[in-house]
Amino acid sequence: MDIKAYFHRIGLELPEDLTPNSALLRQLHLAHCTTVPYENLDMIRGIPTSLEEDALFHKIVEEGRGGLCFELNGSFGNLLRALGYQVTDYAARYLRGESTLPMRRHRVLKVEATDGIWLCDVGIGEVCQREPVKLEEGLVQEQFGESYKLEKEDFLGWVLWDLYKGSWRKFYSFTEEPQLEVDYIAPNFYCEQHPESPFNKKEMFAVKTLEGRKTLDGNLYKEFRSGAVTAKELTEAEMPEAYAVFGLKY
């Protein structure tokens, strides 16, 4: 792991003090999700993705690309381990917007810092936490005008909730069964190849900002800023410029 190169990729200077505490973790988490895009470009172009550490570093750091949750949280976890954090990978069920209980096809991280245990996730394109969430049941945690909390249920295990229009809704859930890299091969392959996968049909790009996020869904470009949304359907000629917003080549 070239830590200095990774810091440069996410727009940070390598500090002299690399104590693996929550302050550094918060800085890294925010920097990662505001510089490294959520993007499925390889999947819509039929290019297989690799979850090996060297491949993730090459794609995300050296090529300046992004990926889906298996890649983004996998790569982020590799960085955190190199910095001295204790990291455990979990498989999660994405519950928001689902009418039935879905398969586990999301990757999240439990990160043990010197001053607490945190849930980290830099691998979601929709509105989501931009900083770590403390792994503590019932604690309402606010960040950037958004509210999150964790509860426990018998079957689902830990459930992350977010506050939406005054009501709490289930976001995703995970149980505390550690996952190996090999455990993500099957769900990642589902996302790449399955005919019912939503990830292999059209552009699904997103990057967070301090005010919200920018997204490209097919040819529909949106900017979310402080509760306001601007949207535009792009022509073919406008697509390269939109790709460039996410550091991608059309």
Q: What is the pLDDT along the chain (250 residues), one digit of tens a residue?
A: 999 999 999 999 999 999 999 999 999 999 999 999 999 999 999 999 999 999 999 999 999 999 999 999 999 999 999 999 999 999 999 999 898 999 999 999 999 999 999 999 999 999 999 999 999 999 999 999 999 999 999 999 999 999 999 999 999 999 999 999 999 999 999 999 999 999 999 999 999 999 999 999 999 999 999 889 999 999 999 999 999 999 999 9
How many other CB atoms are there within 10 angstroms of residue 227's CB atom? Answer: 8
b/e for 126-136, b at 16 or more Cβ within 10 A?
ebbbbbbbebe
H or E stretch including 180?
none
Asked whether residue 209 is domain-assigned, the answer is no
Residue 227: predicted pLDDT:
81
Q: How far apart are CA 195 and CA 193, in angstroms?
A: 6
Give domain status of residue 79, yes or no. Answer: yes
What is the DSSP annotation of 144-164?
TTEEEEEEEETTTEEEEEEEE
Strand, helix or coil for residue 80: helix
Hey, is 3 helix, strand or coil? helix
The answer to whether residue 226 is domain-embedded is no
Q: What is the CATH number of the domain that holds 81?
A: 3.30.2140.20
Is 245 a member of any domain? Answer: no
Which pLDDT score, from 0 to 100, does residue 169 have? 96
Residues annotated as part of the active site: 69, 106, 121
DSSP-based three-state secondary structure for 218: coil
Q: Domains in the chain: how many in total? A: 1
Residue 182 lies in a domain: yes
H or E segment to which residue 69 belongs: helix 69-82
Sign of CA dihedral 219, 94, 47, 36: positive
- The pLDDT, as a whole number, for residue 99 is 87
Its pTM stands at 0.95
In this structure, is residue 109 part of a structural domain? yes
Output the pLDDT for position 130: 96
Q: List the domain range (segments joined by +) for residue 102.
A: 3-194
Within a domain: 74: yes
Q: If you search the block for the tokens 């996998």, which residue do you land on?
A: 74
Among 116, 143, 115, CA closest to 131:
143
39 domain-assigned: yes
CA end-to-end span of the chain = 29
Residue 216's SS3 state is strand
